Amino acid sequence: MDERADDGPAMTNTDAAEQHALPGFEAVARLAAHTLGVPLVALLLGDGSAFWYAPPGLPETLPLDDALLSACRDIARHGAAEVIKDARADVRFLPAGADPAHAAVGFLACEAVYGLDGQKLGALFAIDRKPRLSLGNGELAALRDAAALAGTGAALRSYLHRIDPATRLPHRNAFFSDLRAQLPYDSGTAWLVVIETAPVARFDAFVRAMGYTYADALTRATAERVQRWIMPGMQLYQVAPSRLAVLLPNQREAPTPAQLDALVEVLREPVDCLGISLSLQPGVGLLEVEASELRGGDPLRRVMNAAWMAMGTARGWALYDRRDDERQRQEFFLVTELAAALSEGTELELHYQPRVELHSGRCVTLEALARWRHPTLGAVSPATFVPLAEQAGLMRTMTDWVFDRGIAQLAAWRREGLDVRLSLNVSSIDLDNQLQPRLAAAAQRHGVPLNRLELEFTESTAIHHNELTRDTLVALREAGVGIAIDDFGVGYSNLDALRRMPANSLKIDQSLVRGIDARWYDAALVSAMVALGHDFGFRVVMEGVETESVLATVRDMACDEVQGYHIARPMPATQVAGWLHGHAAGALG
């Protein structure tokens, strides 16, 4: 029994940079330290890592300082077994001329450590402060046994260093160390294929529904398919939970388009995993990695971009494209900037564009349009930032901001005696049973009646509705809120669904209206839409009235309202009152 065992924790250490502890090292080292009666046992491995153990409770510890470490590394590199009975007489431990009375190390015994395949991995050291006259056979045997056990631990560690225990696939560490090994001289290139098995949100949904055991089984099942596809010499890795990578052997040509098509095809077949059949939505990316990129670059990030771009496409695979990458980085930058702009509220603004009633010439409604002026990028179009807000989960925050800002402004105009309605654009993401309470809360906050507000949904949002969205729209209508179907005529409408829409207004898309005076077929189309809209009981609004001639054509079609640059461009709130006062009835001519 080790009488020092209860004197507090033993001191063990690994190189700070090392990711994995060495399984079983402390137990092995404690046995060796006890049997040999030494204050320090150290294990040095050929990969540069060092592990050491000092039994607790000794009056004087023996630190594995840099000098001792480098002397031991020297021994580990060269000899097999070695016993240095008096290290004070050895220049590796006591520099020539130094006083032996101050030597830190007096004795050292070393035994080589081998891996399971007999390959030398490093050496185990028993180190004492005082020299020794001899080392008994029993002690030597104990050191040999400890070295053998340390070898098993080291083999297990290097396995864990490469293999994910859950999926049993080599993981990202292994991927990078193999990639570096393939491009050792800062020159040359290697081809890399990355497979995203499913969109991350979808994979997370699998995990939430089925647990990690299922997700791991799914990754293994997918890996088996890739395994069947890969050619000799290629190596497969799992670089993230839903992401696999294949490294092609040095200087091999890129996989051919036919080979990549075959990979996508095999990945798209439904996977039968633990009795459940699932269709994945894979994306495969291809990248030629430059050796120089291994210093500081991130080839995995780049190829993931290609895989991500490929995910929703018919082909399912894509070669890395710098422009796509830059666009995605720019989008990411914009999303973070937009999130900041929304929380600070200083860079965002609403502009207002009048909608004018044709028969009276009066401005009946103002449409609020979001504007973002970024301090360095300048004006960013809503056509760019609205879809980004949708993708990044910022849409509700943005809509709430638009509601609040727009309705506050409407309340201010009403106090000045201006009586207009305000129309607000909303995204499909907003269309749920919270929409009505959100709008009602903003209206109440600013004391504006709901019947002075209208919401605009794009045609595709409004038409592809289910019962829940229909209920939401009906609730809004019943509360007095107007509903407009925006950008009508460019989607693929189901006319029966349109007829049943609980909407008041139909806004015909500007792309159809703009050339109406020059293109007879646009005129025919728009005039049919106006008739249909009226038959279904909607007010018909023409967007994109840019010229006098378009206005004249539109007037003949008996539509209800017009909106466009010819009437007024969207303008800041400060200009609206002036415009309204200047816009006399009949100003449309």
Alpha-carbon distance of 125 to 107, in angstroms, equals: 10
- The C-alpha atoms of residue 537 and residue 119 are separated, in whole angstroms, by 85
Does residue 402 bind ligand C2E (CB under 6 A)?
yes
Does residue 383 belong to the site contacting ligand C2E (CB under 6 A)? yes
The H helix count followed by the E strand count for the chain is 19, 23
CB of 514 to ligand C2E, least distance (A): 6
Using CB under 6 A as the binding criterion, the count of chain residues that bind ligand C2E stands at 23
Could you say whether residue 381 binds ligand C2E (CB under 6 A)?
yes
How many C-beta atoms surround the C-beta of residue 165 within 10 A? 9
Alpha-carbon Rg for the chain, nearest whole angstrom, is 37
Per DSSP, the three-state class of 84 is: strand
Query: Based on CB atoms, which residue is closest to ligand C2E, 235 or 397?
Result: 397
Q: Cβ contacts of residue 241 below 8 Å, gap of 6+?
A: 203, 215, 219
Q: Is 365 in the site for ligand C2E (CB under 6 A)?
A: no
Which of Mg ion, ligand C2E, none sits in contact with 128, Cβ below 5 to 8 A by type?
none
CA angle 95, 98, 102 (to 5 degrees): 110
Backbone angles phi, psi at 286, to 5 degrees: -130, 135
164 contact, one of ligand C2E, Mg ion, none, CB 5-8 Å limit per kind: none
Give the distance from CA 552 to its chain's centroid.
51
| 456 is a site residue for ligand C2E (CB under 6 A) | yes
Task: Quote the least distance from Cβ 432 to ligand C2E, whole Å.
Answer: 14
For position 456 contacting Mg ion by CB under 5 A, the verdict is yes
Is 178 near ligand C2E (CB under 6 A)?
no
- Give the one entry of ligand C2E, Mg ion, none that residue 570 binds, where binding means its C-beta sits below a cut-off of 5 to 8 angstroms depending on kind: ligand C2E
Determine, following the binding rule CB under 6 A, whether residue 508 of this chain makes contact with ligand C2E: no
Q: Which residue type does 159 have?
A: Y
Nearest-10 crossing angle of helices 299-311, 322-344: 90
| Backbone dihedral angles phi then psi of residue 7, each to the nearest 5 degrees | -85, 25
**Alpha-carbon span 183 to 426, nearest angstrom:** 52
Q: State in angstroms the smallest separation of the CB of 369 from ligand C2E.
A: 4
Report the candidate in 122, 111, 143, 153 with the shortest Cα–Cα distance to residue 37.
143
Q: Which is nearer to ligand C2E, 75 or 557 (CB)?
A: 557
Interface characters, 463-492, with ligand C2E (x: CB under 6 A): -----------------------xx-----
Quick one: which segment of 6-14, 36-44, 197-205, 381-389 binds ligand C2E (CB under 6 A)?
381-389
Distance between CA 30 and CA 284 in Å, rounded?
50
CB of 216 or CB of 543, closer to Mg ion: 543
What tokens were used for 182? 């393939």
Assess 146 for contact with ligand C2E (CB under 6 A). Answer: no
User: What residue type is 465 in one-letter code?
Assistant: H
Site string for ligand C2E, 555-584 (x = CB under 6 A): --------xxx----x--------------
- Of 200, 546, 579, 583, the residue at the interface with ligand C2E (CB under 6 A) is 546
Our CB check for ligand C2E shows the closer of 164 and 456 to be 456
485 token code pair: 């179907």
Quick one: which of 426, 448, 551, 576 contacts ligand C2E (CB under 6 A)? Answer: 426
Alpha-carbon separation of residue 547 from 358, 366, 553, 561, 586 (angstroms): 15, 20, 10, 15, 17
Nearer to ligand C2E, 196 or 486 (CB): 486
Contact 189, 291 (CB under 8 A): yes
Closer CB to Mg ion, 40 or 410, in the complex: 410
In whole angstroms, the minimum distance from the beta carbon of 220 to ligand C2E comes to 43
Q: Output the smallest distance, CB 510 to Mg ion, in A.
A: 6
Counting contacts by CB under 6 A, is residue 354 touching ligand C2E? no
User: Using an 8 Å Cβ cutoff, are 30 and 53 in contact?
Assistant: yes
Strand 271-273 and strand 283-290: the pairing is unpaired
Query: What would the two tokens of residue 300 be?
Result: 């995995």
Residue type, 375: P
Residue 216 site contact among ligand C2E, Mg ion, none (CB < 5 to 8 Å, cut-off depends on kind): none
**How many whole angstroms separate alpha carbon 311 and alpha carbon 138?**
64
Which residue in 265, 240, 253 sits closest to 316, CA to CA?
265
Distance, in Å, from the CA atom of 364 to the CA atom of 422, rounded to the nearest integer, reads 9
**Residue 386 near which of Mg ion, ligand C2E, none (CB within 5-8 Å, type-dependent):** ligand C2E
Smaller CB separation from Mg ion, 289 or 513 = 513
Does the protein bind ligand C2E through residue 523 (CB under 6 A)? no
Shorter beta-carbon distance to ligand C2E: residue 16 or 379: 379
Give the residue, chosen from 510, 517, 523, 560, that forms a contact with ligand C2E under the rule CB under 6 A: 510
In the structure encoding, which two tokens stand for residue 211, read together? 């647990």
Q: Which of residues 49 and 423 has its CB atom nearest to Mg ion in the complex?
A: 423
- 216/522 with CB nearer ligand C2E: 522
Q: In the complex, what is the shortest distance from the CB of residue 489 to ligand C2E, in angstroms, rounded to a whole number?
A: 12
In whole angstroms, the minimum distance from the beta carbon of 423 to Mg ion comes to: 7
Pairing of strands 378-380, 421-425: unpaired
Q: Which residue is nearest to ligand C2E (CB)?
A: 564
Sorted by sequence, the CB contacts under 8 Å of residue 5 that are 6+ apart come out as: 56
Q: What's the min distance (Å) between Cβ of 357 and ligand C2E? A: 16
In this structure, are residues 416 and 577 in contact, taking their beta carbons and an 8 Å threshold? yes
Q: Which of 167, 197, 238, 425 binds Mg ion (CB under 5 A)?
A: 425
Residue 21: CB minimum distance to ligand C2E, A:
53
**Distance of alpha carbon 110 from the chain centroid:** 49
- 128, 164, 487, 560: which one binds Mg ion (CB under 5 A): 487
- Strand ranges inside 182-251, DSSP E: 189-196, 235-240, 243-247
Residues forming the site for ligand C2E (CB under 6 A): 353, 369-370, 381-383, 386, 402, 425-427, 456, 486-487, 510, 543-546, 563-565, 570
Residues forming the site for Mg ion (CB under 5 A): 425, 456, 486-487, 543
